[in-house]
Structure 1
Amino acid sequence: MAQQNAVQQTPFWYNFLLICLKPLYRWKIKQRAESDALYQQECVERFGPFQPPKNLAAIWFHVVSVGETNAAQPLIEHYLKLGHPVLVTNTTKTGQARAKSLFLKAPYLDLFQAVYLPVDQKSLLKQFFELYQPKLLALVETEIWPNLIAEARQQHIPCILLNARLSEKSAKGYGKVSRLTRPMLQQLTWLLAQDKATQQRYIELGLDRTKSQVVGNIKFDITAPQQFIEQAEQIKQDWNLLGRQIITLASTHAPEEENLLKQLQQYLNSNPYLLCIVVPRHPERFEEVYKACQSLNLNTQRRSLKQTIQADTQVFLADSMGEMWLWYALSQACFVGGSLNEPGGGHNILEPMVLDVPTVIGPRYFNFQTIVDEFVAERAILIGENAEQITAQLLNCLNDSTQRQQLIEQAQVVLKRNQGSLQKHIQLLDHYLKQTDYS
């Protein structure tokens, strides 16, 4: 594919800063690594020498973490089913675990590969591109890296930002480094925005208006993997959960778990049928959350120890990765975290909605403002101002069948109204894939 514009090099200060931060980055990887072997593996993928590719000319999706992986799931699955090789890179350990749990299995084993994204240094990215030789680079949501985009342009590879979102707060941050942001956005091949506000923010930061369009949020087209629905049904039978009332606290941050469990404690102690599943957002906090459960004298079982939910279990700590769909499928009500803590921002509310799970969030959900606002307008979600109010709302969802059904029905109205973005994404990707075939 012909190069439309000359490659604009990133500023010296940016590349010098990356060199200075590299030792700190290695230290951070070591701190969170579960073993020396996993530390070495991640360092190899971040800093080279890189893993050999399973396939050349793959469609490369870069997704930061769990939320972006879930957003890209239907797209990745579409191309794998067509027989296209797919490479996924992640920034976080949870994101990579999620990608592998979805696709590193039959019938996609030979077509799918997931590795960490290399550090955004010119030399490393040049090596990575030349080794993997991707056909197209698809960045998901807000994961934009200056040298990554510049190298894609250098290699004449289409670089598209999919399902793009950008909050007002994030836009202000990018605006403070306009000498870095503007050239980066000018080198994108195309941008598909979730909404007009996002599109306009990117344009004001330097994106060419003619290289963008608003197509809605691909997350509305997501479907729950059948394997987790079936697994949940089996667990209900095997662990005798059919008579339990189950609340899930999902994607939680400190101090959300402790604050909510303190409010739930009296109800867990007085109602033997009530069960709370806690799914912390970050694996490095698993032990911390377990200790919080112990400090409240709540009978807690752990997924990482292969423990099962017993008749007297009050809290089940889902200290695993890649199983969020499973815990939602077991729930009758849920709280989606990252919305009660400071500064907050929120996480994806659509996964529980798809599974007809009434959903409660806290007041700080600016990362998903547009989505949440639409559900609020239809009275399809509950928002609590504090842990006490959220607890009351969760218990009402369990005990008031009329309210629970209304929330489910209204959520389905919003979900169905917003579907269709997936096909628009596929049309654009197919357009550029055909161009690369002929170049």
Structure 2
Amino acid sequence: MTTPFWYNAALSIIKPLYRSRIKKRADNDAQYQQECLERFGPFQPVKNLHAIWFHVVSVGETNAAQPLIEHYLKKGHPVLVTNTTKTGQARAKSLFLKAPYEALFQAVYLPADQKHLVRHFIEKYQPKLLALVETELWPNLIDQAKQLQVPCLLINARLSEKSAKGYGKVPSLSRPMLQGLNQLLAQDQATLDRFIALGAQPQASQVVGSIKFDIHAPQHAVELAAQLKIDWSLAGRKIVTIASTHAPEEQKILSALKPYLQQHPELLCIVVPRHPERFDEVFAEAQKLALRTQRRSLGQSILSDTQVYLADSMGELWQWLALSQACFVGGSLNEPGGGHNILEPIALQVPTVLGKNYFNFQTIVDEFAAVQGVEVVEDAEQAAQALVELAENPQKAQALNAAAQQIMQKNTGSLQKHIQVIDQYL
């Protein structure tokens, strides 16, 4: 397999644009230099040769791969994680770059997908195998891994109909790339069928479910939530969380919640925006609505008259969910949307509401929706109404939760299946 000439030519042309994009999103010059070093070489010093290499895009994929990465670190295997986003890398480091895993763990950016860069990276780090998470396919990366005899697996794989159509338009790129994979472990049958239609090898592809179902709330987050409940006198409050939100979801849902917040002083809405660069913007929206708002980033606590708490911090979503009686999962009302992971609130037995644009998690959400294990809404007004009803009506919340937990139990076990396949290459 060699990648088409046009693909490599296109990469050379867009490289300067890519550099300027990195410069734009860097907070300072040191951060820009650091990312350029990791993207274009000469790369970071190697912490551990022969690591198990996981490539994840952003926060969602990092969270999905967490139980798998943790399993191998616990067994004493060195792990290398590469990301393509700043938030993804921050998440990986916050999870693993600490005791007891610090010496075994390294997280760096994935080099730009140019042959010479990828080859140099693989030769430098000499990984045991490369596990690409979900849909993170890069033609030269897969090509060079094959040439350098590094087994390449696509794990927890998912592919929406829309993405499959995109790959289908460039068969000269997609087919050889998929045939370069040693194993393809799909979340569901629809994904498997789409990949095989695009050229994946049926004999090296199978459905093993989603690792995402093997998810457990970190004990420390649950304990912290219990402590905050005492410290901030929250026992009498009805708390709803709107999590992983994008513009204009916060403004619309808070507007719809405003009458409820005014009529029910015990009601409180915690807002956890998806992207840190939007924290100030979301605070401004709450101010415009004249809602009494406290901010996590300023170390403020929830007061008896607080209506909105802006959780403008990273890596603390679990504790806010653990405080909640109901949760809305964002990225699902905005256009085009796509949605985020509903399994985090469900793992904490928090009744979950989401918008109708959830194509990134289609199969997972559909399974819950079919048994009324989640509530799918059309707009912000319905979202606000559903959240308030679930917070005020324990019977309704209990019924939703019971249905959701049955689906969770039915789907656990994917983690073990992934481990069995990966272990064959170690």
TM-score normalised according to structure 2 size = 0.97
Equivalent-residue separation in structure 2 for 1:398 and 1:308 (angstroms): 21
SS in 1 for 2:315: coil
Within a 5 Å distance, the mapping from 1:1-40 to structure 2 comes to 8-40=1-33
Q: Which amino acid letter does the alignment assign opposite residue 243 of structure 2?
A: A
Residue number in structure 2 paired with 1:209: 202
Deviation, structure 1 residue 104 = 1.4
Task: Tell me which moved more, 144-153 or 280-289.
Answer: 280-289
Q: In the alignment, which of 306, 315, 327 is matched to residue 313 of structure 1?
A: 306
Equivalent-residue separation in structure 1 for 2:189 and 2:46 (angstroms): 38
Deviation, structure 1 residue 268 = 2.0
| Aligned length in residues | 426
Residue number in structure 2 paired with 1:326: 319
Q: Which amino acid letter does the alignment assign opposite residue 230 of structure 1?
A: E
Residue number in structure 2 paired with 1:96: 89
Within a 5 Å distance, the mapping from 1:230-379 to structure 2 comes to 230-379=223-372
Deviation, structure 1 residue 270 = 2.8
Q: Does the 8 Å contact 2:238/2:392 carry over to 1? A: no
Residue number in structure 1 paired with 2:403: 410
Q: Deviations over 1:36-81 (max 9, x none)?
A: 3323322222222211121111101111111111111111111111
Residue number in structure 1 paired with 2:34: 41
Q: Which amino acid letter does the alignment assign opposite residue 233 of structure 1?
A: A
Q: Which amino acid letter does the alignment assign opposite residue 360 of structure 2?
A: N
Q: Does the 8 Å contact 1:80/1:86 carry over to 2? A: yes
Q: In the alignment, which of 121, 127, 145 is matched to residue 152 of structure 1?
A: 145
SS in 1 for 2:53: strand
Deviation, structure 1 residue 405 = 0.9
Residue number in structure 1 paired with 2:187: 194
Q: Deviations over 1:232-255 (max 9, x none)?
A: 122222222222221111111111
Deviation, structure 1 residue 258 = 0.8
Equivalent-residue separation in structure 2 for 1:34 and 1:301 (angstroms): 25
Equivalent-residue separation in structure 1 for 2:36 and 2:307 (angstroms): 39
Equivalent-residue separation in structure 2 for 1:290 and 1:418 (angstroms): 38
Deviation, structure 1 residue 380 = 0.7
Aligned CA distance change for structure 1 residues 28 and 57 (closer, same or farther; 3 Å): same
SS in 1 for 2:327: strand
Q: Which amino acid letter does the alignment assign opposite residue 77 of structure 2?
A: H
Aligned CA distance change for structure 1 residues 39 and 239 (closer, same or farther; 3 Å): farther
Task: Tell me which moved more, 387-396 or 275-284.
Answer: 275-284
SS in 2 for 1:379: coil
Deviation, structure 1 residue 316 = 1.8
SS in 2 for 1:161: strand
Deviation, structure 1 residue 303 = 2.3
Gaps of 5+ in 1: 1-7, 434-439
Q: Does 1:63 align with 2:56?
A: yes
Q: Deviations over 1:122-180 (max 9, x none)?
A: 12111211221111100111111111111111110000000111011110011111111
Residue number in structure 2 paired with 1:175: 168
Q: Which amino acid letter does the alignment assign opposite residue 385 of structure 1?
A: E
Residue number in structure 2 paired with 1:397: 390
Deviation, structure 1 residue 368 = 1.2
Aligned CA distance change for structure 1 residues 384 and 171 (closer, same or farther; 3 Å): same
Q: Does the 8 Å contact 1:32/1:284 carry over to 2? A: no
Task: Tell me which moved more, 57-66 or 44-53.
Answer: 44-53
Equivalent-residue separation in structure 2 for 1:101 and 1:113 (angstroms): 12
Q: Which amino acid letter does the alignment assign opposite residue 417 of structure 1?
A: K
Aligned CA distance change for structure 1 residues 287 and 31 (closer, same or farther; 3 Å): farther
Q: Does the 8 Å contact 1:358/1:404 carry over to 2? A: yes
Equivalent-residue separation in structure 1 for 2:301 and 2:117 (angstroms): 44
Q: Which amino acid letter does the alignment assign opposite residue 297 of structure 1?
A: A
Q: Deviations over 1:7-42 (max 9, x none)?
A: x12112212222222222222223222333323322
TM-score normalised according to structure 1 size = 0.94
Task: Tell me which moved more, 302-311 or 343-352.
Answer: 302-311
Equivalent-residue separation in structure 2 for 1:270 and 1:107 (angstroms): 49
Q: Deviations over 1:79-116 (max 9, x none)?
A: 11100011111111221122122111111111111111
Equivalent-residue separation in structure 2 for 1:104 and 1:412 (angstroms): 32
Aligned CA distance change for structure 1 residues 306 and 119 (closer, same or farther; 3 Å): farther
Q: Does the 8 Å contact 1:301/1:309 carry over to 2? A: yes
Residue number in structure 2 paired with 1:226: 219
Using the aligned pairs only, state the percent identity.
69
Equivalent-residue separation in structure 1 for 2:359 and 2:405 (angstroms): 22
Q: Does 1:121 align with 2:125?
A: no
Residue number in structure 2 paired with 1:437: none
Gaps of 5+ in 2: none
SS in 2 for 1:78: helix
Deviation, structure 1 residue 328 = 1.2
Equivalent-residue separation in structure 1 for 2:21 and 2:356 (angstroms): 31
SS in 1 for 2:24: helix
Equivalent-residue separation in structure 2 for 1:308 and 1:100 (angstroms): 27
Residue number in structure 2 paired with 1:81: 74
Equivalent-residue separation in structure 1 for 2:13 and 2:286 (angstroms): 40
Aligned CA distance change for structure 1 residues 275 and 43 (closer, same or farther; 3 Å): farther
Equivalent-residue separation in structure 1 for 2:271 and 2:311 (angstroms): 6
Within a 5 Å distance, the mapping from 1:423-434 to structure 2 comes to 423-433=416-426
Residue number in structure 2 paired with 1:436: none
